[in-house]
Amino acid sequence: MTEPRPPGGVEPDADELRARWADAWRPERVAERLAGVGTPWCVAAGWALDLFRGEQTRPHGDLEIAVPVAGFPRIRDRFPEYVWDAVGSGRVWAAAGAEALAATHQTWLRDPVSGRYLFDVFREPHVGETWICRRDGSLRLPYDAIVERTADGIPYLVPEVVLLFKAKGTRPKDQADFDGTLPLLDPARRARLGEWLERVHAGHPWLAELTG
């Protein structure tokens, strides 16, 4: 979170939340709705690794995309029939206003009729066309260095950045994602990931595998 937590918000029930994400969209559907949107965006997290790998390798409980925070209004305007909920610190602010949006970086798109969530938007810090890492503000890269595209044009976050973010908690699915992606990383990608891990998560066990 970038600001003190705003008042309100509710802590969702875990089982109910899983059910509400059961109809999450696939990357292709989001890409269709965002064609020509005029702000950088990309599929993030586990789906981004599957787009890099060229196939879906596991079930995904949701779909995350990343956008520069200043570009979020352009994303929002593409979905006038839906509602945006802000998320942070384990709480959800329904139909979030400016205060909740300023204090969080995650935003869930909700169907107001069914109550189901469709995808998650990370509103990322940036300076102009330069992305700033939320984990370490000194790590700054131009968007064209961190976004690649599939053969049919879907933008996705490069695997080095995805794995950097997955390294913090290293849940079983994160370890599986690392194990499945590592053989596909060329020496330059391995070197970048290793450098960033040393900077953000010094001593992480993945470092030995990257250099082994």
Domain count, the chain: 2
In tens, the pLDDT along 179-202 reads: 999 999 999 999 999 999 999 999
Domain that holds residue 25: 1-157
Tell me, yes or no, whether 132 and 189 share the same domain: no
Domain identity same for 117 and 23: yes
pTM of the predicted model, to two decimals? Answer: 0.94
Task: Examine the domain organization and report whether 66 and 56 are in the same domain.
Answer: yes
Residue 25 has pLDDT above 60, yes or no: yes
pLDDT, residue 1, reads 42
| C-alpha dist (Å) from residue 128 to 63, 78, 125, 133, 138 | 25, 22, 10, 14, 15
Do 40 and 117 share a domain, yes or no?
yes
pLDDT of residue 5: 74
* Residue bearing tokens 């990931």: 193
Q: Residue 85 gets which letter from DSSP?
A: E
Helix (H, G, I), strand (E, B) or coil at 194: helix
Q: Are residues 117 and 132 in the same domain?
A: yes
42 and 123 within one domain: yes
My answer on whether 195 and 208 are in the same domain is yes
Which sign does the torsion angle of CA 176, 171, 186, 155 carry? positive
**Percent of the chain residues past pLDDT 90, beyond the cut:** 93
User: What letter does residue 105 receive in the DSSP assignment?
Assistant: S
Mean per-residue pLDDT for 77-86?
A: 97
Query: Of 157, 173, 202, which closes a domain?
Result: 157
Q: Is residue 3 predicted with pLDDT exceeding 70?
A: no
Domain identity same for 152 and 165:
no
Q: Look at the block and give the residue holding tokens 């956008």.
A: 67
- 91-127: per-residue pLDDT in tens? 999 999 999 999 999 999 999 999 999 999 999 999 9
Domain boundary among 142, 157, 172: 157
Boundary (domain end) residue, out of 157, 179, 198:
157
Residue 44 binned pLDDT confidence (cut-offs 50, 70, 90) = very high
140 contacts: CB under 8 Å, gap ≥ 6: 127, 130, 131, 132, 133
